[in-house]
């Protein structure tokens, strides 16, 4: 514990002094927060004291639903956002955590609730938004500090599914949570976001489900899972793209619950970076028609209907015109990015590679494109 504290003090002393504020917003949830929930954090760095204070008191009162944070989750969110921005090799224990002081308020949606206020989504949703606000405060310092916003959590890709498998001689009830598409991570100095980021609370801890294992265990057919082209938050370092796909029941009706966030307010970029795609959930009817579903919802599907989903993409970090053109070409070659968007957003012109399948950078045209777009 003492070692963790010493390491945290040393890391904080490498940062510039100052106070930095950033605001995010949770999506609207009808009857709970019709306009969404604005969430603000102010990070104050005191290098001399080796201390960081995170003030989350300037936020709305508790809402009539489960989106309120418990004190433990609010405390964790404040510290998570800081830990992402200081030396990752230090122990994350009580010693290092003690150098990050959250300031919380009684009766606040991201503070200290009192019974009978609901906190059923305390480990996700507003917790993730608060951690995002904290991590993005560091971007206010300027490069190379900070990071963009990571994707919200979650669509029907991570839905809790239940039903009756009528295929065996004795019908079997089942329930599970799918992990078919994790939200995209944020860009930060030197790195693009992770596809398996999942959220600020998960940050790569979780991995996507094996389709084969899920299909072997449950009466569900997964029709598709793919990277959504052009969905990433553009930047010198890009947010991870969204993942999209669809699945359906092979045995009777299936009910899906999900508490999504990120369908209205996407993960924003910082320092000139762009936002990532929003998430979404749809019902595909037998005639192919897609019906957009609410982002925080419960829905029943028949065997003839399919669940269509898209996870959130991460926000970009820095000016897209500063991105290494060869990284842009690599994104196009893996089909994460279209050649048209490579030119439109990143100012990178491409030409067919020798194998006539991939693309190479057209260096001369790229220089001309970027020179024309930069202010003189």
**Statement: residue 34 has pLDDT above 90:** yes
Whether 62 shows a pLDDT value over 90: the answer reads: yes
pLDDT band at 248 (very low <50, low <70, confident <90, very high): very high
The pLDDT, as a whole number, for residue 149 is: 97
Residue-wise pLDDT tens digits, 101-137: 999 999 999 999 999 999 999 999 999 999 999 999 9
Share of the chain above pLDDT 70, in %: 99
Residue among 87, 79, 160 nearest 127 (CA): 79
CA distance 233 to 37: 22
Report the pLDDT value the prediction gives residue 376, as an integer from 0 to 100.
62
CA 344 to chain CA mean position, Å: 25
- Total-model pTM: 0.94
3-state helix, strand, coil in the chain (%, to 5): 25, 25, 50
**183 has a pLDDT exceeding 80:** yes
Lowest pLDDT segment from 41-55, 194-208, 264-278: 194-208
In this model, does residue 322 exceed pLDDT 80?
Answer: yes
pLDDT digits (tens, 9 = 90+) for 148-177: 999 987 789 999 999 999 999 999 999 999
pLDDT per position as a tens digit, 255-302: 999 998 999 999 999 999 999 999 999 999 999 999 999 999 999 999
Q: Count other Cβ atoms within 10 Å, centred on residue 190.
A: 9
**51-74 burial code (b ≥16 CB/10 A, e <16):** bbbbbbeebeebbebbbbbbbebb
Q: Are strands 296-301 and 254-259 parallel, antiparallel or unpaired?
A: antiparallel
CA 123 to chain centre: 14
More confidently predicted of 176 and 375: 176
What does pLDDT average to over the chain? 95
**What are φ and ψ of residue 171, in 5° steps?**
-55, 145
**Mean pLDDT across 186-205:** 89
The pLDDT, as a whole number, for residue 374 is 80
Q: Distance between CA atoms of 101 and 113, rounded to whole angstroms?
A: 19
């Amino acid at each position: 514990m003492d070692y963790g504290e010493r390491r945290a003090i040393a890391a904080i002393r490498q940062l510039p002094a100052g106070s930095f504020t950033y605001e995010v917003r949770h999506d609207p949830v009808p009857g709970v927060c019709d306009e969404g929930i604005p969430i603000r954090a102010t990070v104050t760095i005191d290098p001399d004291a080796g201390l960081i204070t995170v003030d989350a008191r300037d936020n709305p009162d508790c809402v009539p639903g489960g989106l309120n944070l418990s004190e433990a989750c609010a405390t964790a969110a404040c510290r998570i956002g800081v830990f992402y921005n200081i030396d990752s090799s230090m122990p994350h224990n009580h010693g290092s955590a003690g150098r990050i002081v959250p300031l919380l308020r009684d009766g606040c949606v991201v503070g200290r609730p009192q019974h009978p206020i609901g906190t059923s989504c305390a480990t996700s949703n507003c917790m993730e938004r608060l951690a995002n606000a904290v991590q993005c405060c560091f971007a206010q310092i300027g490069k190379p500090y900070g990071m963009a916003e990571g994707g919200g959590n979650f669509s029907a890709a991570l839905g809790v599914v239940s039903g009756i498998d009528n295929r065996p001689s004795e019908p079997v009830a089942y329930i599970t949570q799918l992990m078919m598409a994790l939200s995209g991570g944020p860009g930060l100095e030197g790195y693009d976001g992770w596809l398996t980021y999942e959220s600020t609370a998960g940050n790569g801890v979780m991995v996507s489900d094996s389709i084969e294992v899920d299909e072997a265990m449950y009466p569900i057919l997964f029709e598709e899972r793919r990277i959504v082209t052009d969905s990433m938050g553009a930047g010198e370092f890009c947010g991870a793209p969204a993942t999209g796909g669809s699945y359906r029941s092979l045995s009777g009706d299936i009910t899906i619950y999900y508490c999504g966030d990120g369908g209205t307010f996407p993960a924003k970029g910082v320092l000139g970076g762009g936002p990532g795609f929003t998430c979404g959930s749809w019902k595909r009817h037998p005639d192919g028609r897609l019906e957009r579903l609410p982002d925080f919802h419960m829905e029943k599907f028949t065997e003839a209907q399919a669940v269509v989903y898209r996870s959130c993409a991460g926000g970009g970090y820095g000016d897209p015109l500063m991105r290494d053109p060869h990284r842009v070409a690599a994104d196009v070659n893996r089909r994460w990015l279209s050649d048209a968007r490579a030119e439109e957003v990143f100012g990178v012109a491409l030409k067919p590679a020798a194998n006539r399948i991939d693309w190479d950078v057209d260096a001369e045209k790229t220089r001309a494109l970027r020179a024309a777009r930069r202010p003189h």
